[in-house]
Structure 1
Amino acid sequence: MNCTSAKPLAAILLMLVTLNSFNVNQAQAEIKLPAIIGDNMVLQQGQKNPLWGWAEPGEKITVTVDGQSHTATADDKGKWKVSLNPLKVGGPYEITIKGKDSVTLKNVLSGEVWICSGQSNMAWTVRSSNDSDLEIMTANYPKIRLISVPQVGTQEPQDNFNGKWEPCTPETVANFSAVGYFFGRQLYQTLNVPIGLIDNAWGGSSAEAWVNRKRLEDEPAFKEMMQRWEQTEKTYDHEKTVAAYNKRLDQWKAAAKKAKTAGKPAPRRPRGPRNPLTGNHRPSNIYNGVLYPTIGYGIKGVIWYQGESNASRAYQYRKLFPFMIQNWRDEWNQGDFPFYWVQLADFRSEKPVPADSDWAELREAQTMTMDALPNTGEAVILNLGEAMDIHPKNKLDVAKRLARWALAKDYGVNIVHQSPRYKSMEVKGNKAILTFDHVGGGLDLFDVNTPIGFTIAGEDKKFVNASAKIIGANKIEVWSDEVAKPASVRYGWADNPICNVQNKEGLPLTPFRTDDWTGITANNH
């Protein structure tokens, strides 16, 4: 063969190799899996676990793991789904998914899977929490697995997201949810089983953004809210808003330059516009963009930290919050799985005299959700907040209070888990005798040996600070010389209440009021 004929032959061979490689890559791409299903994932023990993906329409898919085999046929859109029988706790397992090509998932474990959801206090990272240097350097837990869902706001349900399961290491934990990680670590250390944590929290999010839009539109209680959003959707022009902002920005630049020349402080830079149509308040935006691609994945339950963004509509939250939980349960098709949340912390300035509070009303709505739905629970953190920071850094104790609920209710651990809660009031003369449930080892006090945080009012609804005394393991006597005949007692009823009652295990008394007088958020929808 001469040299001149070798070049065309080499070109032909290269083309054939390239085409063959292309065909192999195409074949390998035929079976596609969502991000929630992949290497390093944790499957929920003790139950069947759905696995799903995409292939060619009509393609037969066989899934095998640990001696079991399941088959499915891709539908006309290419989607297939199987249900694995429960796997023995532990692992690691390999799962083979075979059709025209084959995919093997490696290092899969069987254990406990929890979703870590809500707004910024759940999204708050280990890196930004107390003792982050110590927590990060010791976060070597190969049997704890982490996955985070990016923030995508849309009205179109998303089948997938950009993410992957990873073992817990100092590198992977630093930017993970602090409450989620500390919660999962407590479960792991107590139960000694693999833990899977799905972080889908979105800072600043409103509860309605997490709910299926059709469900919201069908509920009369949310008619006014949905009508407002429909109007926004019809009229909002983001390009016009950006253009107006750029004009203000040019004016600011000129003013800042002038101020600098004159040796004066520059004016505050105008804040850039946020598109409400793709943001974290629009009804169903987060449901579609963040929650939807994980719905149906086998889980044990959910921990939730949200409510700040709904505080101005606290009365509405009485309906909205349990409505959201029920929506998740209905669509997950996994029964009434556990759902535990964090009550709002103390925040804003302390006030020396009784006053109305939307945060107090939101806390009340959260507490009421325990009565509205089964398998729910509330971690009270009225003593863990920071007056000047809506993001308190102590996430470890928050997580421990959530973990108490899970350990006691779901894993059979004999541990006090619920904060004391108001049960009843009896009036004797000018004194109100309050009885409480869930007192654990008995009512106790922190820091000061007199109960503080109580206010009292007569039928005139004028509250004053009250004196109080513990008169039994589950009883407190409350009074004020200014109120001859008590009609209502409140406790911790403020944005940032000054209060000190707890049980002997250190769980704070749940804030409450004995009246049902109309609150300041009653007409906000």
Structure 2
Amino acid sequence: MSISVLALARRVSYRRIWVRFPVLFAALLATASVWARVELAAHIQDQMVVQRGMPWEVSGTANDRERFIVEFRSQRIEVRPAGGAWSVRFDVPSNFTGPAELMVDGGRLEREVLVGDIWLCSGQSNMVLSVARASDGGQMAASSQSKAVHIYQVPKPITGRPPANAGRWIATTSPDQFRRFSAVCLAFGMALHERTKVPVGLIDSSLGGTWIESWISSQSFDNLSLAESARRRYAEIKKRRAATGRRRNTYGIDEPSQLFEFMVRFLARQSIKGVLWYQGEANRRNADQYQELLSVLMKDWRAHWRNSSMPFVIMQLPGFGTPAAGFDANSEWAAVRDAQRRAVASSQPAGLVVSIDFGDGTIHPRTKLPFGRRAADVAVDLAYEPGNRELVPMPTAVSFEDSTATVEFGKGRACLEATPYLSETVFVAGDDHRWHVADVSISQSSLVARSSQVSRPVAVRYAWSDYPRVGLRTCGNGVPVTPFRTDDWRS
């Protein structure tokens, strides 16, 4: 009864306003109507980072009859929705960074954004490992409270549908805001901002225990020569898990291309500066295929972002197990590292973060600041100071003459420097595929190896084990030279 009386009173009150102030009443209704009809897409958020130097697409929904203005900095665009949706593109100059305001329909909708550089961090568990779990997380928390570094974490998929409105952009002004964020990614972004003074947006889209095949789109994966063998491997693993009662509580981890659909595809609507990729442990059993897979992933993501020159920073696998000089012809970790090196060499622009000196013996090293800082150094050389390429020397050619093997390294500002372990980390083999430690001499950009036990060498390997000693460093910065091989033998 009281509800009916209240409703009647409201109708009487509205009628009186209409009679006494018809123009005001109509204006209020019109304003409320516009507010209800004009909306921004969910990913256009306060605190989001907008990529400088690239077009920014702003979209949303609205009634087709509406006409309104969208403003960003000095640009004003009149919008005429079609089919209930609208979209505009703003030019974002490369020489502008810092806070900016997006206004829709005279300021009825506003977003405070930050113009800078966006880096997407992706991969498996070593990328997932959070600031709270990192042994140097406290040091990270003490130094990373900055309004110039913003983060966005993609939720893990738990259903068979991609997230519609996943994640929120936040500024790293309090440790509580980033303690669950990727430690490597945050360390990378902090160091990058320190080096470039450009605001940085970090997107973490990573998931532990995942194969690279899950991160490649179906369009690209289906064209791979090894697609069918990968599907069989996924099917066998799913069977074993079902038989033992082990089930994954994350959707899409056991299927090719599914994590791309759930955790990557929707991100491609926003321009980014580049990608930091840290993955490979799960693929160590098919390391012979990893070069092709990683090369395809880089090409695939560049196509989806419509940027064929999008930089990739590839984190090479660190040392695992017990550090030791010597040689293991069957090392799966070494094989993945070499596949990463080859993929980087063939998929430019890309840079390799050598990290064999950073491991702690476990599969998940807890110290993450050194990884992030070195990755930032590679990113700066790759994407910000391209005239100063080659943070570390990379092997580019090999030749054999009589009893001598000569490996040439890329010409550049980087040069070779020996450590006391050099004589224990370079091996040569002949046609019999039997490996022997080599006598080694180096110059600024070449390595010469020979062995009294190999009359005519045909192959060279360096730092070939799960956790090799560092025999070669880069002059000046001390960064280890990447492990490599010149052969394609199975063992």
Please report the TM-score for the alignment, with normalisation by the length of structure 2.
Answer: 0.85
Q: 1:199 is matched by which residue type in structure 2?
A: D
Q: 2:395 is matched by which residue type in structure 1?
A: Y
Residues 154 and 286, structure 1, Cα contact 8 Å, conserved in 2? no
1:7 CA displacement: 8.1
Q: Find out whether 1:90 has 2:97 as its counterpart.
A: yes
Q: How does 1:163-312 map to 2 (within 5 A)?
A: 163-226=168-231, 241=242, 245=245, 272-274=246-248, 278-312=251-285
| Structure 1 residues 124 and 97, CA gap change in structure 2 (3 angstroms) | same
CA distance in 2, matches of 1:32, 1:454: 62
Residue of structure 2 equivalent to 1:507: 479
CA distance in 2, matches of 1:13, 1:301: 60
Q: 1:367 is matched by which residue type in structure 2?
A: R
Residues 98 and 116, structure 2, Cα contact 8 Å, conserved in 1? no
Residues 296 and 333, structure 1, Cα contact 8 Å, conserved in 2? no
CA distance in 2, matches of 1:299, 1:28: 31
Residues 154 and 288, structure 1, Cα contact 8 Å, conserved in 2? no
CA distance in 2, matches of 1:178, 1:215: 30
CA distance in 2, matches of 1:16, 1:200: 55
Residues 430 and 486, structure 1, Cα contact 8 Å, conserved in 2? yes
Q: Which runs of 5+ in 1 are unaligned?
A: 246-271, 521-525
Residues 420 and 508, structure 1, Cα contact 8 Å, conserved in 2? no
Residues 422 and 440, structure 2, Cα contact 8 Å, conserved in 1? yes
Residues 393 and 409, structure 2, Cα contact 8 Å, conserved in 1? yes
CA distance in 2, matches of 1:490, 1:512: 6
Secondary structure of 1:137's partner? helix
1:495 CA displacement: 1.7
Q: Find out whether 1:42 has 2:40 as its counterpart.
A: no
CA distance in 2, matches of 1:372, 1:48: 28
Once structures 1 and 2 are overlaid, which stretch shifts more, 391-400 or 66-75? 66-75
Residue of structure 2 equivalent to 1:491: 462
Residue of structure 1 equivalent to 2:86: 80
| Structure 1 residues 433 and 232, CA gap change in structure 2 (3 angstroms) | closer
1:83 CA displacement: 0.9
1:406 CA displacement: 2.2
Residue of structure 1 equivalent to 2:19: none
Give me the CA root mean square deviation. Answer: 3.5
Secondary structure of 1:126's partner? coil
Residues 428 and 457, structure 2, Cα contact 8 Å, conserved in 1? yes
CA distance in 2, matches of 1:10, 1:129: 59
Once structures 1 and 2 are overlaid, which stretch shifts more, 279-288 or 217-226? 217-226
CA distance in 2, matches of 1:98, 1:485: 77
Secondary structure of 2:417's partner? strand
Q: How does 1:425-436 map to 2 (within 5 A)?
A: 425-436=398-409
Residues 63 and 81, structure 2, Cα contact 8 Å, conserved in 1? yes
| Structure 1 residues 156 and 140, CA gap change in structure 2 (3 angstroms) | closer
1:303 CA displacement: 1.0
1:33 CA displacement: 4.2
CA distance in 2, matches of 1:206, 1:60: 48
1:368 CA displacement: 1.4
| Structure 1 residues 312 and 14, CA gap change in structure 2 (3 angstroms) | farther
Q: Find out whether 1:357 has 2:331 as its counterpart.
A: yes
Residue of structure 2 equivalent to 1:477: 448
Secondary structure of 1:298's partner? coil
Residue of structure 1 equivalent to 2:59: 52
1:195-233 per-residue CA deviation (whole Å, 9 max, x = no partner) reads 11111111222111112223322434313323665x689
Residues 421 and 470, structure 2, Cα contact 8 Å, conserved in 1? no
Residues 136 and 369, structure 2, Cα contact 8 Å, conserved in 1? no
CA distance in 2, matches of 1:60, 1:207: 46
CA distance in 2, matches of 1:140, 1:224: 47
| Structure 1 residues 134 and 158, CA gap change in structure 2 (3 angstroms) | closer
CA distance in 2, matches of 1:441, 1:193: 26
Q: 1:318 is matched by which residue type in structure 2?
A: Q
| Structure 1 residues 314 and 62, CA gap change in structure 2 (3 angstroms) | farther
CA distance in 2, matches of 1:129, 1:73: 50
Secondary structure of 1:420's partner? coil
Secondary structure of 2:300's partner? helix
Q: How does 1:299-448 map to 2 (within 5 A)?
A: 299-349=272-322, 352-387=326-361, 389-412=362-385, 417-437=390-410, 440-446=413-419, 448=420
1:94 CA displacement: 1.7
| Structure 1 residues 39 and 357, CA gap change in structure 2 (3 angstroms) | same
CA distance in 1, matches of 2:240, 2:454: 56
Residue of structure 1 equivalent to 2:427: 455
Please report the TM-score for the alignment, with normalisation by the length of structure 1.
Answer: 0.80
| Structure 1 residues 29 and 183, CA gap change in structure 2 (3 angstroms) | farther
CA distance in 1, matches of 2:335, 2:3: 81
CA distance in 1, matches of 2:139, 2:36: 42
1:166-189 per-residue CA deviation (whole Å, 9 max, x = no partner) reads 344322232222222122122212
| Structure 1 residues 67 and 319, CA gap change in structure 2 (3 angstroms) | same
Residue number among 125, 138, 147 corresponding to 1:142 in the alignment: 147
| Structure 1 residues 153 and 367, CA gap change in structure 2 (3 angstroms) | farther
Residues 327 and 464, structure 2, Cα contact 8 Å, conserved in 1? no
CA distance in 2, matches of 1:52, 1:135: 36
1:147 CA displacement: 0.9
Residue of structure 1 equivalent to 2:20: none
CA distance in 1, matches of 2:131, 2:466: 26
1:306 CA displacement: 0.8
Percent pairwise identity: 28
